[in-house]
Structure formats: structure tokens, C-alpha cells
Amino acid sequence: MTTTVNADPAELAKFSELAHRWWDTESEFRPLHEVNPLRLEWIDAIAPLRDRRVLDVGCGGGILADAMARKGSSVLGIDLASKPLKVAELHALEAQTEGVAYREVSAEALAAEDPESFDIVTCMEMLEHVPEPLSIVKSCAQLVKPGGWVFFSTIHRNFKSFLFGIVGAEYALGLLPRGTHEYRKLIRPSELAAYCRAAGLDLMQTRGLTYNPITRRYRLTDDTSVNYMFATRKPLASVK
Ligand code: SAH
């Protein structure tokens, strides 16, 4: 049987190229470092990250995976770009983070290998980089235990997100390297909600992440017009 991997090699190469700067809080990854405490506390408030088995899909250099392990969970980070995974492993060694491991495996392959084995699955800032986001959402749904939580974050596709998320962030403010995000790959909340429904996940909460260019800070808001997050849950018993 031939299996095609649901990944764009150009996207993976892009993240590998920058990998050595992943933990530099003033680098291209500054936005991820900035949003990390906000998303971490939001996740932890909904699904407490203590003694849980957690999977971080598209973990990159491990900014969120490492922080979730430091909350006391056992975290597996997966990605298909090898350099960011090496950086993540090195960081865990240097920072002496316990309970975090990394693996180069696709969400689809892990879902076939180890279904319903995680209490919490996170998939942040990743869906907009893959050819078939629905397949990732479905894999996350397979990987989480019944009653478990799946968290997503991505970027809306509309004129404002084009202006702020791409032109502003990549060109005007230089927060992200040019070409980080392609407009056509961005995902509307309604589209992500439809993917979740198709995967059998219930949407429980939606939050916006809003960037203030003056204070250079993000905060959690109800405004999902640019960056936003979904908290979803797999029902305890699926109703047939
Ligand atoms: N989730 C992390 C990193 C976001 S950057 C965070 O929010 O801090 C996007 C990551 O998605 C990169 O590490 C990239 O290599 C990864 N990625 C892109 N396509 C992927 C795929 N098909 N499978 C797994 N990871 C992928």
C-alpha cells in the first residue's frame, strides 16, 4: 500500500531553515513565545495539565510542548520537520524539562498506531501549513481519548487577517518572515468548525488572540477575525 504524507515539503523546509533560532525570543518565533503563556493558561484552565498524557501535533521547536510538560504532564511532541525536533530535544536537555519526548511521525500514522491514547491533544499554528487540514483534525480526534480535549489555533481568512496577519506581520512590522503564511491556506472559523464536526469533535469554546502593535503584546479576546483558538471535546460515547 502506498501512503502519501499530508505535508508540504516547502513548508517543512521553511521551518527547518529557521530552527536554530526557535528559542530566541527576539527572533521570527517571537510571536509564538509571546502567545505561549496565554494559550498555555487557557488550555490549563479548561483541561488541567497535571498528570495528563498530552500530544502536541506540529510541535516545532517545542515552545508549547515544553511548557505543558513543566505543568506536570507527560508530553509527546510530533512534527515532520527534523531540525525543529532536534532543537526541541536539545532545549529539553538544556532546560532539564522532564516528561517531554519528541518524535518525527505524522498525525495520521500515529493515529493508526496509537488511537485514543491521549487525554489532551494540541495542534497550534499548524493547520494553515498542511495540504489537507481536515485529515489532521480527524487524526487528532482519533488520537484523543473519549471525553478528552483537542485544542486548535490558526488564522482566519478574510480581508482583515490578510491585512494584519500577512501584510502587517510579515511586511510592515516584520514580526514574521515574508512567506510564512499563504492567504489561500488560511482557515475560517466556520471551516474549522465544519472540520471538527466531520471529525466528531464538539466545539466548546472559541477565543481570539489579538495583537496590539503599540504595546507589542497579544491578549485573549472574543475577536476571532485574525488569530483564533478552538477548544473541542470528543464525546464520551459517540452517538450513532
Ligand atoms: N505548534 C508550534 C509550532 C508552530 S510552527 C507552536 O505553536 O509553537 C508550524 C509547525 O508545523 C512547524 O514546526 C512545521 O514543521 C509543522 N508542520 C507543518 N506541516 C506539518 C505536517 N504535515 N505534519 C506535522 N507538522 C507539520
C-alpha of residue 240 to centroid of ligand 1, in Å: 33
CA-based torsion, 213, 175, 49, 207: positive or negative: positive
C-alpha of residue 59 to centroid of ligand 1, in Å: 6
Question: Does the pLDDT of residue 238 top 60, yes or no?
Answer: no
Read off the C-alpha cell for 168: 502587517
Ligand 1, atom nearest to 5 Cα: 22
Of the listed ranges 44-48, 171-175, 228-232, the one predicted with least confidence = 171-175
C-alpha of residue 209 to centroid of ligand 1, in Å: 19
For atom 17 of ligand 1, the residue with the nearest CA is: 58
Question: Does the pLDDT of residue 239 top 90, yes or no?
Answer: no
C-alpha of residue 13 to centroid of ligand 1, in Å: 11
C-alpha of residue 11 to centroid of ligand 1, in Å: 9
C-alpha of residue 237 to centroid of ligand 1, in Å: 30
pLDDT tens-digit readout, 143-154: 999 999 999 999
pLDDT at 1: 45
pLDDT tens-digit readout, 76-128: 999 999 999 999 999 999 999 999 999 999 999 999 999 999 999 999 999 99
Beta-carbon contacts of 239 under 8 Å, excluding residues fewer than 6 positions away, are none
Q: For the residues of the chain, what is the DSSP string, one character each?
A: -----S--HHHHHHHHHHGGGTT-TTSTTHHHHHHHHHHHHHHHHHS--SS-EEEEET-TT-HHHHHHHHTT-EEEEEES-HHHHHHHHHHHHHHT--SEEEEE--HHHHHHHSTT-EEEEEEES-GGGSS-HHHHHHHHHHHEEEEEEEEEEEE--SHHHIIIIIIIIIIIS-SS-TTSS-GGG---HHHHHHHHHHHTPEEEEEEEEEEETTTTEEEEES--SSEEEEEEE--SS---
pLDDT tens-digit readout, 209-223: 999 888 889 999 999
For atom 22 of ligand 1, the residue with the nearest CA is: 7
> Which of 12, 136, 143, 229 has most ligand 1 atoms within 8 Å of CB, for mutation?
12
Domain ranges of the chain: 9-233
In CATH, what class is 9-233?
alpha beta
The ligand 1 site (C-beta within 6 Å) comprises: 6-7, 11-12, 15, 32, 58-60, 63-64, 79-81, 84, 106, 124-126, 129-130
Read off the C-alpha cell for 121: 491533544
- Alpha carbons 69 and 50: distance in angstroms, whole number: 9
> Which of 23, 36, 64, 79 has most ligand 1 atoms within 8 Å of CB, for mutation?
79
